[in-house]
Amino acid sequence: MPELPEVETVRQGLAKWVTGRRIEAVAVLHPRAIRRHLPGDVHFAAVLAGRTITDVARRGKYLWLPLDSGDAIIGHLGMSGQLLMQPPEAPDETHLRVRFEFADDGPELRFVDQRTFGGLSVSEDGAELPHEIAHIARDPIDPLFDDELFVTAMRRKHTEVKRAILDQTLISGVGNIYADEALWRAQLHGTRPTDALTKPQVRRLLADIRDVLGAAIVAGGTSFDALYVNVNGESGYFDRSLDAYGREGQPCHRCGTAIRREQFMNRSSFSCPRCQPRPRKPLR
């Protein structure tokens, strides 16, 4: 699933292409794509027609497009969602779900989603921050992220450190890939108890999370298949820079020990046995 760097890459691209443009018409081609918009597809199209997109914003892995009406379009990419800018004459994609046409007859915005786990909806009066996503914590590249509040909250939790940094109510935007990468940089095993971490350890981990996310944004995100692309249909290339995730059996870039893979919440965790030893006292 796309994580913060992938969604931020899409946000940056959308901001260049749609900010200040007036929506002429919306076509919903698959009702599941707007299943979270409870009034339905006719209402979705009607409430957006004639509205101008004033910005493109993000909270964690969610995008929202504020409108001049005070409402906002909320978007979540799910496993395979893509927001693409296409010339009006371009052929429809096989999995095209929603099309936005603009009054200037310029490039269309298309929501393409093979698995239809993602979706769009309209948040009433949600231009500043949609109430549907207000419970999600700020992410560590947000200028208003409170470092010391995070350090305190992390050390108060009685859980494993990887579970904590995946908790979107504590810190948003970090998923499985970038959690493993940050933990590798911080030399922490994912099962380390959070209440046993020192303040300097948590601050270092936070700095490493920021570094990993920042580097991934510059690289355009991580693409392991053709389902994640930016608004121009281009894949990211941060997968070439991974130190831990997906590198089972390959030498650690720091010490040369073979990277291990362990089961974690129906997924996999990757770490270095030497640089990231398992805690002597596991969480109880």
Positions at the binding site for DNA: 95, 115, 157
CB 154 within 8 A of CB 164: yes
Catalytic residue among 11, 59, 61, 97: 61
Question: Among residues 39, 124, 234, 267, which one is catalytic?
Answer: 267
Residue 82's beta-bridge partner residues? 112
Q: Residue 88 catalytic?
A: no
Active site residue 2: yes
Active site residue 162: no
User: HEC states along the chain?
Assistant: CCCHHHHHHHHHHHHHHHCCCEEEEEEECCHHHHCCCCCCHHHHHHHHCCCEECCCEEECCEEEEEECCCCEEEEECCCCEEEEEECCCCCCCCCEEEEEEECCCCCEEEEEECCCCCEEEEECCCCCCCHHHCCCCCCCCCCCCCHHHHHHHHHHCCCEHHHHHCCCCCCCCCCHHHHHHHHHHHCCCCCCEHHHCCHHHHHHHHHHHHHHHHHHHHCCCCCCCCCCCCCCCCCCCHHHHCCCCCCCCCECCCCCCECEEEEECCEEEEECCCCCCCCCCCCC
Bind-site residues:
95, 115, 157
Q: Distance between CA atoms of 199 and 224, rounded to whole angstroms?
A: 35
Phi (first) and psi of residue 19, to 5 degrees = -60, 130
- Residues identified as active-site: 2-3, 61, 267
